[in-house]
Amino acid sequence: MKTYDAIIVGSGAAGGIVACVLAEAGKHVLLLERGPVLSFADVGRDQLRNQRLAIYGHNAGPELIGNPRVFVDPQGRSRLVKPHELDYHNNAACVGGGTRVYGAQAWRFHPNDFRMASKYGVPDGSSLADWPISYETLEPFYERAEWELGVAGDGGVTQSEIPRKRNYPLPPVLPSPHTLALQHGARQLDWGTTPVPLLINTEAYRGRSSCIGCKYCVGFACPTDAKTGTQNTVIPRALATGNCELKTSAVAEAIDTDDRGYVIGISYFVSSSGAPQRETARSRLVIVSAGAIESARLLLNSRSSFHPAGLGNEYDQVGRNLQGHLYPRAYGLSSTKVFNGIGPGVTIATIQFNHDNPGIIGGGMLADDFIKPPIDFWYDSLPPDLPRWGVENKRFMRDNYTRVMHVRGPVQDIPNPEGRVSIDRTVRDKWGIPVARLSGTTHPATVEAAEFMRERGEQWLRASGCEKVWSTQPGLILSGRQHQAGTCRMGNDPATSVTDEWGRVHSHDNLFVVDGSLHVTNGGFNPVLTIMALAFRSAEYIARLS
Amino acid sequence: MNSETLRAVVDCLIPPDDFPGAYDAGVCDYIEQLFRTDLADHAEFFCAGIDAIDAEALASYNAPFAVLTPDQQVATLAAIEAGAVKTSWHIAPSRFFEMLVNVTAEGYYSDPQGGNRDCLSWVMTGFEAAS
């Protein structure tokens, strides 16, 4: 049997980068992806079956049948959920992972995001902790991600809060009419604003063309391939070396260990022609990059007499601290049309409230939103006092779709160890693998911060000239979804963390986790650029081994 | 399920004005397709709800829903939405009504496949420029 230098499970934001760095360093790599390569046509434009609005289905996998999870609600009632249901906390299952269909906001975390416990103390019931590394340690890798993949933005305006050595390689997206209104409002309030950094080519970059301003970024694939994911950057680079073998529709079952408990490879299923077939691959290193839910599931499902609770789980830490973001959303009715039909739609943000808010732990970024198709707007954005049907509802859609301004943002999640991934041994997927069981909630302090941010959103819209303003406030729920993180946190103490600062599982020399699972906290920002930066850092370290 | 009733119901939910109502936009086609495919498991539930709307109309006005005046139609649906029904329902009125309103809006505002004929709601809202 062929022995690889490394097997990487998952080809998303992190796995694609690890594959590229290792392959370019001459390592022989097997990259396993449970989903397929999805073309633009495969992803499609179905407005009711996509990653953003998944009422009847989902366009980036996994398939609705045969891939259940178990969700336990805050009252303790458990039920089976399918991938397109909100409580499944799906991201995507395809080459590129979530980066195939995401909106592509490319934020660095704030320096204080790496030292939350030192800055705020640890609230009761929370597992809030500092990262084992600082912003300064990660800064060169943020820069590398921004330049090797391609981020558009203006780093100058956030230099005092989030210092950087080098600006973005691409200029920011152009303002829309609503941008100017929000800029004006922020000036009235004396708030700073910044263009939203995006992994979208505002100009041709590294062989791919520029954005044409279509209205279908988040939830869909890009018609000109101007939206940047790992599937159109680092994975092609990895394959071009000849050192990386990409195996799609390959579902990892377990990390294999030998009779001394030492990690030796992976068992996985493929179904090239109908019937599922179990295959094994052997390697000197295994790197788990399957996302915060599936990475934890794989470790927990890899049991032996040496590791009865799963790999890396000696202290019952694997799967805990599942976090994502609560998203307060505010809407304002402008007296003039603010919609020009040019995507992406997200243009302007404030990072004024990410920290140092009185009585609040953390905070978050607020930004405008990607263009919402009318059905998404109808479900998400109408004022609560508007009738849901009849002539008044239709008139609002007709008159105000182009006049509503949107402000929303991710609130820093205060981790709760009871918000977690475990294994339901009674439910199996179509391969026979026990499925993930999701339970618990975020910490109440997250809800307090979300309420504070909701008020800031309304305040911003009022100052921007909106007479009618409304908003939605998330309650105490489990967060995760596309920003899922935290389930294999890094740290120096094996009793309270799963890996060291490089993503190496404490109890195993040759087993790594590299993805959002490592995040000790998840910042008040979209997390993908941090996942990418950490992947570059860990991959460089792994490439130097052996 | 009476297709005349469904037609009148969706046009009451999204009535014609300067722009076509739900029926002319193809919403009934969308709904029939949806309950043959993604919502096939709920088809019986949905048909029972449409039939119950007619029963409510008969109980209140002694006529089927489709021939009521616009005001009577609105009053009938508003009562069902509020759960203030006069007849005996085998399904939860408010749950049915939420599904009814949602699938009607989907047919009107979502992709032009069945509903949203000629992208009319996208032009109406300004999502797409008129050509």
Provide the residue type at A396 as one letter.
F
Mean pLDDT of A2-11: 96
Where in the sequence is the domain holding B87, given as residue range(s)? 3-125
Residue A332 has pLDDT above 80, yes or no: yes
Q: Read off the pLDDT of residues A197-208 as tens digits, 9 standing for 90 and up.
A: 999 999 999 999
State in Å, rounded, how far the first CA of chain B is from the last one. 38
Residue A275 has pLDDT above 90, yes or no: no
Q: Read off the pLDDT of residues A416-450 as tens digits, 9 standing for 90 and up.
A: 999 999 999 999 999 999 999 999 999 999 999 99
Residue A390 has pLDDT above 90, yes or no: yes
Q: State the Cα–Cα distance between residues A515 and A533, nearest whole angstrom.
A: 10
> Cis peptide before A123, with omega less than 30 degrees from 0?
no
Chain B CB within 8 Å of residue A391 CB: yes
Provide the residue type at A271 as one letter.
S
- B131 in a structural domain: no
- B43 in a structural domain: yes
Q: State the Cα–Cα distance between residues A285 and A467, nearest whole angstrom.
A: 59
Q: What is the pLDDT of residue B130?
A: 82
- B103 in a structural domain: yes
Q: Can you list the alpha helix ranges (DSSP code H) found in A411-527?
A: 444-463
pTM, to two decimals: 0.98
- The contacts of residue A143 (CB under 8 Å, 6+ apart) are A164, A165, A166
Instruction: Measure A382 CA to nearest chain B CA, in Å.
Output: 13
The size of the A-B interface in CB pairs under 8 A is 72
Contact A375 B101 (CB under 8 A): no
In 3D, which of A476, A5, A81 has the Cα closest to residue A293?
Answer: A81
Determine what percent of chain A is predicted with pLDDT higher than 70. Answer: 99
In 3D, which of A173, A169, A156 has the Cα closest to residue A368?
Answer: A173
Q: Is A500 exposed, middle or buried (0-12, 13-18, 19+ CB in 10 A)?
A: middle
Chain B CB within 8 Å of residue A374 CB: yes
Return the DSSP state at A44.
-
Residue A546 has pLDDT above 70, yes or no: no
Structural element, H or E, at residue B102: helix B93-109
Domains and CATH numbers, chain A: 3-39+58-544 (3.50.50.60)
Our CA angle for A202, A203, A209, nearest 5°, is 105
Measured between CB atoms, which of A339, A378, A402 is closest to B105? A378
Measured between CB atoms, which of A45, A339, A378 is closest to B109? A378
Q: Do A203 and A170 meet the contact criterion of CB atoms below 8 Å apart? A: yes
Instruction: Measure A344 CA to nearest chain B CA, in Å.
Output: 13
Q: What is the pLDDT of residue A208?
A: 98
Q: State the Cα–Cα distance between residues A472 and A479, nearest whole angstrom.
A: 16
Q: Do B114 and B107 meet the contact criterion of CB atoms below 8 Å apart? A: yes
Q: Token match 């005349």: residue?
A: B4
- Sign for the pseudo-dihedral over CA of A510, A516, A517, A521: positive
Q: State the Cα–Cα distance between residues A101 and A91, nearest whole angstrom.
A: 9
Contact A373 B128 (CB under 8 A): no
Q: Read off the pLDDT of residues A458-506 as tens digits, 9 standing for 90 and up.
A: 999 999 999 999 999 889 999 999 999 999 999 999 999 999 999 999 9
Q: Do A201 and A226 meet the contact criterion of CB atoms below 8 Å apart? A: yes
Q: State the Cα–Cα distance between residues A527 and A199, nearest whole angstrom.
A: 12
Contact B111 A46 (CB under 8 A): yes
Find, in chain A, the residue whose alpha carbon is nearest to that of B124.
A398
Find, in chain A, the residue whose alpha carbon is nearest to that of B108.
A375
Contacts of A402 in chain B (CB under 8 A): 125-126
- B130 in a structural domain: no
- The contacts of residue A447 (CB under 8 Å, 6+ apart) are A326, A474, A475, A476
Measured between CB atoms, which of B15, B110, B111 is closest to A394? B15
Contacts of B101 in chain A (CB under 8 A): 388-389
Mean pLDDT of A279-307: 97
In 3D, which of A194, A190, A171, A37 has the Cα closest to residue A108?
Answer: A194
Q: What is the pLDDT of residue A346?
A: 98
Contacts of B104 in chain A (CB under 8 A): 389
In 3D, which of A223, A377, A320, A345 has the Cα closest to residue A517?
Answer: A320
Q: Can you list the alpha helix ranges (DSSP code H) found in A258-402?
A: 292-300, 374-380, 391-400
Q: Do A212 and A224 meet the contact criterion of CB atoms below 8 Å apart? A: yes
Q: State the Cα–Cα distance between residues A237 and A150, nearest whole angstrom.
A: 14
Instruction: Measure B62 CA to nearest chain A CA, in Å.
Output: 23
Q: State the Cα–Cα distance between residues A85 and A81, nearest whole angstrom.
A: 6
Q: What is the pLDDT along chain B (131 residues), one digit of tens a residue?
A: 789 999 999 999 999 999 999 999 999 999 999 999 999 999 999 999 999 999 999 999 999 999 999 999 999 999 999 999 999 999 999 999 999 999 999 999 999 989 999 999 999 999 999 86
Using 50, 70 and 90 to split pLDDT, how confident is the model at A294?
A: very high
The total number of structural domains that make up chain B: 1
Residue A186 has pLDDT above 90, yes or no: yes
Q: The tokens of B44 are what?
A: 């019986």
Determine what percent of chain A is predicted with pLDDT higher than 90. Answer: 98
Q: Do B127 and A374 meet the contact criterion of CB atoms below 8 Å apart? A: yes
Q: Do A71 and A82 meet the contact criterion of CB atoms below 8 Å apart? A: no
Contacts of A394 in chain B (CB under 8 A): 14-15, 17, 19
Mean pLDDT of A68-81: 97
Q: State the Cα–Cα distance between residues A532 and A19, nearest whole angstrom.
A: 12
Chain A contacts in chain B segment 5-64 (CB below 8 A):
12-15, 17-19, 34, 38-39
Structural element, H or E, at residue A232: none
Q: Token match 């084992």: residue?
A: A132
Q: What is the pLDDT of residue B94?
A: 94
Measured between CB atoms, which of B14, B18, B121 is closest to A374? B121
Q: Give the Å distances, CA to CA, from B2 to A24, A273, A497, B105.
A: 66, 45, 62, 20
Secondary structure, 3-state, A172-190: CCCCCHHHHHHHHHHHHHC
In 3D, which of A24, A234, A81, A134 has the Cα closest to residue A520?
Answer: A134
In 3D, which of A171, A58, A148 has the Cα closest to residue A533?
Answer: A148
Find, in chain B, the residue whose alpha carbon is nearest to that of A379.
B102
- What number of other Cβ atoms are within 10 A of residue B126's Cβ? 20
Residue A29 has pLDDT above 90, yes or no: yes
Mean pLDDT of A130-140: 98
Contacts of A45 in chain B (CB under 8 A): 111
Return the DSSP state at A323.
B
Chain A CB within 8 Å of residue B121 CB: yes
Q: Strand A434-439: give its sheet, edge to edge.
A: A78-81, A69-72, A434-439, A420-428
Residue A1 has pLDDT above 90, yes or no: no
Q: State the Cα–Cα distance between residues A535 and A18, nearest whole angstrom.
A: 6
Q: What is the pLDDT of residue A36?
A: 97
Contacts of B74 in chain A (CB under 8 A): 390
Q: Give the Å distances, CA to CA, from A245 to A7, A28, A33.
A: 10, 8, 11
Q: Do A8 and A31 meet the contact criterion of CB atoms below 8 Å apart? A: yes
Provide the residue type at A505 as one letter.
V
Find, in chain A, the residue whose alpha carbon is nearest to that of B74.
A390
